[in-house]
Structure 1
Amino acid sequence: MTELKTRRPTGAVPWPLVLVEGGEKAGKSWSIAELSASPRVGRTLWLDLGEGAGDEYGAIPGARYELIEHDGTWSSIMGQVSAARDEAQRALDAGEKPVVLAIDSMTAEWGLLKDWVDAKARRRDVNRKALAQDPDVEVEITNDLWNLATARHKDLMRILMRFPGIVIMAARGADQVAMENGQPTKIRTWKVEGQKALAFDATAWVRMSRTEHPRIIGARSVHAGIVPGEDKPRVIPDLKLDALIFDILKCDPAKAHVRDLVSTPDLAAVLALLAEVNDRDSYTVVWELARDADLLDSPVDDATLRDAMYVQRDKVLAAEAKATESVTA
């Protein structure tokens, strides 16, 4: 029988993962530059994905962020985000002020992944033939491809949700016509443009506007003063991210911790284990590990981890058949 293991809650505020969204020219990127000027934060690392404000906003008085360089590929982006995480951990271990990682924007991140699966869909034989006959034909992105895009997004979010510092995710938001069963309705609703789980994963959600004061839409917080189901979004004139993080959310760098999420292996770890598989039992162990970590549909070269698993399985079965033949010969 498994022994029950419990502990008392600490009451400490975890490192914040803040979603800052709003319409065009609402000040989302500006707020990131302002945060970098705060004496309460250390290095601010700005990952510019398609927004283009990073260079110009360096002229804002007091701004002291650094732009992360990447070549636009997913592997380059993920490599730099991982490096930023490692720098944040180094600063934390050294007793320095917390590192800020800003991604501008998560709308562009999801757009990058959508373009990737669209290109994959267009390369499929059935679609390539259809496009040859009619270049304007609508290409369907099937669920297996959307699963690939979601898997990549989850790989990024695993790092952001366990980042040992402050993460700001900018995203576009807009008032849109609500859809029902694929058809437009007369109802209008506000929508964050990005992967659908983006707002759920954030610990705090701020909406900015060109014509109204910033408002805290929601926060997973004891201190923010917003009770789900009871309180309306909290409007705060001239809200700054510095005040949100340290004064409203009460993040104390001396006590903050990464969110207590279930520890799961990353794709690289599973691939390393897969390379060592040489029998059915070890194959089953790695398969279950990958399945439980929701990694089976993660991209590996031009295929998925699931495909790589099948290749390794076939090698194991072929080796077993060969060994059987040797014994019976």
Structure 2
Amino acid sequence: MINTRQPTGRAPWPLILIEGGEKSGKSWAAAQLSASEKVGQTYWIDLGEGAADEYGAIPGARYLVVEHDGTWGSILTQVREVREEAARAAKAGEPPVVLVIDSMTAEWDLLKDWAANRAKEAAAKKGRHVDPNDEIKIPMNFWNDATTRHRRLMTLLMTFPGIVVMTARGKEVASLDAAGRPIEGSKEYKVEGHKNLAFDSSAWVRLSRDRPPVVVGARSVHAGIRPGVDDPHELPEGWSLEGLVFDVLRCDPQGTRAREMTTLQAGAESPDLDNLSPETERLLGVAEDASNVSELTLCWTATGAALKAEQITQAEADHIARRIKALGAEMQAAA
């Protein structure tokens, strides 16, 4: 039997990437959106930018700064909490909740540093001296772990039942050849962040200090920009994210819904890796930060206690166990 349904034709709530050079107004535009009467409560997660407090003085701005301790587990937990509040507001028929993440450049830098530190620790365990000034080669499995963490965050943002604004840095950099060497006299524009950041966004805005703002790309029936066919669309003077969301993309609080995404599962006993419980995320972080087998053993004991207390499911406990086993094998190989 084929399971089907008719498409709704409704525009989903947007995941907006607003990027550009330094001091081009990315955070300012996000703060201005919070002043709109068409949106509900705005939550601001500051990652490495430090503009959240000062921009609260912008006339009409009304957002709340989300506090976290800078760790991945804390950041992801707060995103989940805001997402739940956004779902509650949508169900109650309230104006859409807005989540601002400032910036996704810092988010990917955090994950890159995490992967690099793991590589240094692995090298040290093998008895190799690591000069802090030398560039460390990060194994592919560490890159894969960093990408997995990023993907969990992006899935939460892509299915957010409200409006998400992500800022990122962008600039022209030297073009590289296939071997990673700079090509003399050739430059290309690059968004600083995970390579799929622009791809995952539903609307992509570029700001500049010396050129008009442009919509580089948009996934929209009403304002779509076809790559290789349509030129980037210049925004008029006095533009705003409010106008982009409600007038250009035609999001309607009464009919717009969050994007629906079905993630592929490895099997019936596998947990939904994009919707792990906060305790599972915490235990995975403890395992990945363990420096020896004894610490992994303590993490396994804590996993059993969490399962008994019904803080995690059996599938999540099995997932943590597999991760602990893999990390233990890496440690034994290094030894």
TM range (shorter): 0.7 to 0.9
Report the CA distance between 1:193 and its aligned residue: 0.3
Report the CA distance between 1:264 and its aligned residue: 5.9
In structure 2, C-alpha distance between the alignment counterparts of 1:31 and 1:303, rounded to whole Å = 37
> Match for residue 24 of structure 2?
26
Preserved CA contact (<8 Å) 1:130 1:137: no
Matches within 5 A, 1:254-269: 254-263=254-263
Q: 1:12–1:141: structure 2 CA closer, same or farther, 3 Å change rule?
A: same
Tell me the amino acid that sits aligned with residue 145 of structure 2: L
Report the CA distance between 1:125 and its aligned residue: 3.7
> Match for residue 253 of structure 2?
253
Preserved CA contact (<8 Å) 1:204 1:216: yes
Structure 2 stretches lacking a partner, 5+ long: 290-317, 327-335
In structure 2, C-alpha distance between the alignment counterparts of 1:246 and 1:188, rounded to whole Å = 35
Aligned-pair Cα RMSD in Å: 2.6
Q: TM-score, normalised by structure 2?
A: 0.80
> Match for residue 164 of structure 1?
161
Question: Quick one: percent identity of the two aligned structures?
Answer: 51
Alignment deviations for residues 277-298 of structure 1 (CA, whole Å, 9 cap, x no partner): xxxxxxx753xx36998x9xx9
In structure 2, C-alpha distance between the alignment counterparts of 1:165 and 1:202, rounded to whole Å = 14
> Match for residue 204 of structure 1?
203
Alignment deviations for residues 290-319 of structure 1 (CA, whole Å, 9 cap, x no partner): 6998x9xx9553349877227689xxxxxx
In structure 1, C-alpha distance between the alignment counterparts of 2:322 and 2:63, rounded to whole Å = 42
- Among 93, 108, 111, the alignment partner of 1:110 is 108
Report the CA distance between 1:6 and its aligned residue: 1.8
Preserved CA contact (<8 Å) 2:119 2:137: yes
Preserved CA contact (<8 Å) 1:127 1:139: no
Preserved CA contact (<8 Å) 2:152 2:273: no
Preserved CA contact (<8 Å) 2:15 2:158: yes
Structure 1 stretches lacking a partner, 5+ long: 271-283, 314-329
Preserved CA contact (<8 Å) 1:300 1:308: no
> Match for residue 98 of structure 2?
100
Report the CA distance between 1:127 and its aligned residue: 7.3
Matches within 5 A, 1:66-81: 66-81=64-79
- Among 151, 156, 167, the alignment partner of 1:154 is 151
In structure 1, C-alpha distance between the alignment counterparts of 2:323 and 2:235, rounded to whole Å = 54
> Match for residue 242 of structure 2?
242
- Among 305, 308, 311, the alignment partner of 2:321 is 308
Alignment deviations for residues 253-277 of structure 1 (CA, whole Å, 9 cap, x no partner): 1111111210567xxxx9xxxxxxx
Tell me the amino acid that sits aligned with residue 145 of structure 1: F
> Match for residue 34 of structure 2?
36
> Match for residue 275 of structure 1?
none
Q: 1:263–1:128: structure 2 CA closer, same or farther, 3 Å change rule?
A: closer
In structure 1, C-alpha distance between the alignment counterparts of 2:72 and 2:325, rounded to whole Å = 25
In structure 2, C-alpha distance between the alignment counterparts of 1:250 and 1:311, rounded to whole Å = 47
In structure 2, C-alpha distance between the alignment counterparts of 1:135 and 1:61, rounded to whole Å = 46
